[in-house]
Amino acid sequence: MRSKGVAVVGAAETTKLGLIPELSAIGLHADAALNALADAGLRPSDIDGLATAGEYPPALAAYLGLAPKWIDGTTVGGCSFMLHVHHAAAAIEAGYCSTVLITHGESGRSGIGRASHAASTSSLAAEFEYPYGVAGATSNLTIPALRYMKSRGATEEDLARVVVVQREWAAMNPRASLKTPITVDEVLNAEIIAWPFRKPMCCLRTDGGGALILTAATRAKDFPRKPVHILGSGEAVESPMVSMMRDFTTFRGFRTAAADAFAQARIGHAEVDHLMIYDAFAHLPLYGLEDAGFCKPGEAKDFIRERNTAPGGKLPMNTNGGGLCYMHSGMYGMYALQESVRQMRGIAPAQVPDARISVCIGVGGMFAAAGVVIFTNEARQ
Amino acid sequence: MPRTLPKPTPETRHFWEGCKLGELRLQRCRSCGEAYFPPRPFCPECAGRDVEVFTASGKATLYSYVINHRPRADIGTEPHSIAVVTLAEGPRMMTNIINCPQTPQALQLDMPLQVVFGNESAEISLPYFEPTVQP
Ligand SMILES: [Zn+2]
């Protein structure tokens, strides 16, 4: 448990998700931010801390009419927002600021006002990976999967089953992009994107945004919504190049960030009621379940096959449908955090009954960075 | 549209000069013995600056890969493998496995490979890998 405690008191996504051609990327940040301010009952002048990825923080502050005295522009891919929560909680506890707004917005499908995502931010990747034909994350972040599958005895059916279960969750979510049930055979007969990955095993490309507002837990009772407390958090990096990842069967980022978050939260895995694992591709939940300690190495595929993560299972996972079925703008981590907060507030479309603790695990880049946040809806001292 | 090629830097130029001569050049730390890649003028294991360039055997095994079907304008040979290989000396690198069918059946993990250089420009030959010819 954090020394004093920090809570989420505002949370919202953009008014629309999916195809939003009427807003540019910064407009999506703003739409989500205004919705989160309304959710928290706050005005721009109440915000004294700002964290964002993909936009230059001073530009976003000016656009929103904010005058923050603390900013964080950490941009390490899709898990950036988990790191923002980690950093903001520490900043609030240190007294650098009192109320932090974290925003995300990305015109992932329409591409309006989108910050240019170069093939890689690392010139070493441009020099030693890009010439071999990597065409975005679909043929880069996916490369370790075959080694993982050989090591763990996992099959293409096991990858397909991740999609099937998440489509079951998405079917309960009116805002999900892909709600039609799908079978293992249908997944395995779909178009190949980068073998062994078929189209349904790869994330969506959609427009959207999300925002969170954090403040000290001691103030949280004064807000209109049920506060969601941050019980623990962690972050870590591995390599900006997938070819430099030390062991393709396990991600050091997940291991380190999760171990730190669990140690800080002082909880055991059996106490976790709800789980989000960033699923840009179908292999990532398998890594996350094992690297965060929910399953022993090699058991994640069985854990999913035995329906532990499915509706009615003991550890509901990716209950919004995930990046595979709900939405994926490019930096999906914000939507995983939003679903954890909804579950802790008790207002998720596919609500897990009596859920008290939610773990949210994010990956950034090509196994480059990781962030983990553990939430609870119970005030703990 | 020609393939996007690497732009050597002062720290990597020895590697690309080696490729042009048909040599796969790695670096090794004289203090701790670590062989490493990609190139840099110090050892990533112990931070020692006393490092040497040496020519690797060119032997490797297939660590992991995908067969990419998504077209990229400067490549045009999809579907093709994008692989990571483990060099006999220890370091790993990304490459394409060539001179064999681009199929799961032909591309088996841990299969032995050997380097083969593709002449791409006056300055750049890219190291590719092909299945080792069985004697
Ligand atoms: Zn050394």
The interface predicted TM-score (ipTM) is 0.96
Query: Cα Rg for chain A, rounded, in angstroms?
Result: 19
CA A266 to chain centre: 22
pLDDT over threshold 60, residue A208? yes
Question: Mean pLDDT across chain A, nearest whole number?
Answer: 95
CATH of domain A6-113+203-376: 3.40.47.10
pLDDT over threshold 60, residue A381? no
> Which of A124, A128, A205 is the best residue to mutate to test the B interface, defined by the most B CB atoms within 10 Å of its own CB?
A128
Residues of A in contact with B75 (CB under 8 A): 133, 135
Q: State how far the Cα of A246 lies from the Cα of B40, in Å rounded to an integer.
A: 18
Any catalytic annotation for residue A335? Answer: no
Contact flag B66-A248 (C-beta cutoff 8 Å): no
At A123, the pLDDT band (50, 70, 90 cuts) reads confident
**Average pLDDT estimate for B61-77:** 95
Per-residue pLDDT at A118: 47
Instruction: Tell which CATH classification among 3.30.70.250, 2.40.50.840, 3.40.50.10260, 3.30.2020.30 matches the domain B13-131.
Output: 2.40.50.840
- B29 C-alpha to ligand 1 centroid (Å): 5
- B109 C-alpha to ligand 1 centroid (Å): 30
Q: Is A139 on the interface with B (CB under 8 A)?
A: yes
Q: Are A360 and A342 in contact (CB under 8 A)?
A: no
**Average pLDDT estimate for A270-298:** 98
* Residue % of chain A over a pLDDT of 90: 92
pLDDT over threshold 80, residue A1? no
A231 phi/psi in degrees, rounded to 5: -85, -30
Among candidate residues A148, A287, A326, A335, the one labeled active-site is A326
Instruction: Give the count of beta carbons closer than 10 Å to the beta carbon of residue B117.
Output: 18
Q: Are B106 and B52 in contact (CB under 8 A)?
A: no
Which residue type is seen at B122? A
Nearest to A333 by CA among A104, A129, A176, A115: A104
| pTM across the whole model | 0.96
Domain coordinates in residue numbering, chain A = 6-113+203-376
**Average pLDDT estimate for B121-129:** 97
Q: Which helix (H) or strand (E) holds B20?
A: helix B13-20
pLDDT over threshold 90, residue A112? no
Per-residue pLDDT at A40: 98
Contact flag A133-B72 (C-beta cutoff 8 Å): yes
Minimal Cα–Cα distance from A183 to chain B, Å?
A: 23
